[in-house]
């Protein structure tokens, strides 16, 4: 449904994004995750036809966002970082206005506005002036204007920024409910947003996509803290030294001391390795007892920090960018 190839944007002497390539299948919610200034808004605005790219192509439902921008605009709903709302209009008045602007046929407007109001749970605020609405309700009006012409694709730039925790939950649930009939791209710098709302993630940093995959595949394929925690006893320094020599081990440290000479070792594995049996063999070989051993997985947060803190990404990590 969305195909982005080698997209770059240069602002004067500053690079906004470089060689960004990704695709989104129909029905997916893709989370575009990156720190401030990573290039999320630039990408969203190019997709929405609001900003021309310097090079590369982006197609939505088969239409080129630059060459066929009208056809694209009819097929997308766009919520910019700051929703374009007319504060002196009522919610309903504004949505009729937007429906007309977006070319919804006069005979169809009533049905479409009603559907958007119901979808976004705005029934009680139908006749209220937008200026009197809380930020959470304004955001819902922003989403309602994005879906009023029933586009197959919805692009949401930081849809929960500035909302309180209750409003965040409401907006996330609304986005998830839209996924049954739409393809959605949302940008965010908030990790839980991605795990809770999206079925695929593209991580962007300094204008470049550095990984894509499902949240699960990213967690499983990148190291970011995957390994073991082992409660054992005896000579901690010697145990650490021997475990560190295993080729499948990236790092080992003692993270806490428990009762009577016991301590917990945290071992981080090399990507796609299983050092568990070798660690057991080392400890048993030293005559140490193992009281507990459990596997630890990388969280998406670990993965994100690992990727965005590195200057370059290894080929192992880049392999995750192939479709999972
Ligand atoms: N109009 C502009 N003129 C010059 N540079 C710009 C312009 N818009 C964005 N940039 C630069 O392009 C880069 C990407 O910015 P962009 O706004 O796309 O990032 P972002 O990921 O959306 O960040 P944020 O979460 O802070 O909005 C940044 O270095 C930014 O300073």
For position 156, what pLDDT does the model report?
Answer: 93
Three-class DSSP category at 154: strand
Residues in a beta bridge with 15: 10
C-alpha 306/C-alpha 222 separation (Å) is: 9
For position 23, what pLDDT does the model report?
Answer: 92
Residue nearest to atom 26 of ligand 1 (CA): 36
Instruction: Report whether 142 contacts 94 (CB < 8 A).
Output: no
Choose one of 168, 190, 221: the last residue of a domain: 221
pTM of the full structure: 0.76
- Ligand 1 centroid to Cα of residue 163, in Å, is 22
For position 168, what pLDDT does the model report?
Answer: 85
Same domain, 197 and 268: no
In a domain, 309, yes or no: no
Ligand 1 atom, smallest distance to 41 CA: 22
Same domain, 269 and 207: no
Residue nearest to atom 13 of ligand 1 (CA): 16
For position 322, what pLDDT does the model report?
Answer: 33
Residue nearest to atom 29 of ligand 1 (CA): 37
Can you give the residue range of the structural domain that contains 264? Answer: 227-296
Give the binding-site residues of ligand 1, using a 6 Å CB cut-off: 11, 14, 16, 34, 36-42, 189
Same domain, 204 and 85: yes
For position 312, what pLDDT does the model report?
Answer: 40
C-alpha 100/C-alpha 149 separation (Å) is: 9
CATH number of the domain to which 264 belongs = 3.30.70.1340
- Ligand 1 centroid to Cα of residue 1, in Å, is 26
Same domain, 55 and 90: yes
Same domain, 199 and 278: no
Choose one of 188, 221, 254: the last residue of a domain: 221
- Ligand 1 centroid to Cα of residue 318, in Å, is 24
In a domain, 304, yes or no: no
C-alpha 210/C-alpha 184 separation (Å) is: 20
Same domain, 177 and 32: yes
Looking at residue 319, what DSSP letter applies?
G
Q: Interface pTM (ipTM) of the complex?
A: 0.94
Residue nearest to atom 25 of ligand 1 (CA): 36
For position 222, what pLDDT does the model report?
Answer: 61
Same domain, 157 and 196: yes
- Please list the rounded mean pLDDT of every run of 10 residues in the chain (324 residues): 94 92 92 88 92 94 91 91 89 96 92 94 94 91 94 92 83 87 88 82 90 79 72 91 93 81 88 87 94 82 70 38 35
For position 313, what pLDDT does the model report?
Answer: 41
Same domain, 68 and 153: yes
């Amino acid at each position: 449904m969305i195909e982005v190839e080698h997209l770059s944007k240069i602002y004067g002497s500053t690079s906004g994004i470089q060689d960004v390539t990704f695709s989104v299948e129909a029905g997916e919610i893709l989370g575009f995750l990156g720190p401030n200034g990573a290039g999320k808004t630039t990408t969203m605005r190019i997709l929405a036809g609001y900003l021309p790219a310097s090079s590369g192509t982006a197609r939505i439902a088969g239409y080129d966002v630059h060459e066929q921008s009208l056809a694209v605009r009819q097929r997308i709903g766009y919520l910019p970082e700051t929703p374009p709302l007319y504060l002196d209009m009522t919610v309903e008045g504004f949505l009729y206005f937007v429906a007309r602007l977006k070319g919804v046929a006069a005979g169809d407007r009533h049905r479409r506005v009603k559907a958007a109001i119901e979808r976004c749970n705005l029934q009680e605020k139908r006749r209220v002036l937008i200026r009197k609405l809380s930020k959470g309700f304004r955001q819902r009006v922003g989403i309602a204007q994005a879906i009023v012409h029933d586009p197959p694709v919805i692009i949401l730039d930081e849809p929960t920024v500035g909302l309180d925790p209750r409003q965040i939950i409401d907006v996330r649930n609304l986005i998830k409910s839209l996924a049954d009939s739409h393809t959605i791209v949302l940008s965010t710098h908030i990790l839980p947003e991605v795990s809770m709302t999206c079925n695929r993630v593209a991580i962007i940093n300094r204008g470049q996509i550095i990984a894509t995959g499902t949240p699960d595949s990213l967690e499983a394929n990148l190291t970011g803290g995957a390994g073991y925690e082992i409660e054992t006893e005896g000579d901690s320094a010697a145990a650490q030294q021997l475990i560190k020599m295993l080729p499948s081990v990236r790092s080992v440290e003692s993270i806490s001391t428990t009762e009577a000479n016991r301590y917990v070792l945290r071992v981080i594995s090399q990507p796609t390795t299983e050092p568990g049996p070798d660690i057991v063999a080392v400890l048993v070989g030293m005559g140490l007892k193992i009281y507990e051993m459990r596997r630890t997985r990388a969280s998406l947060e670990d993965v994100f920090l690992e990727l965005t803190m590195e200057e370059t990404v290894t080929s192992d990590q880049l392999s995750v960018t192939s479709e999972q």
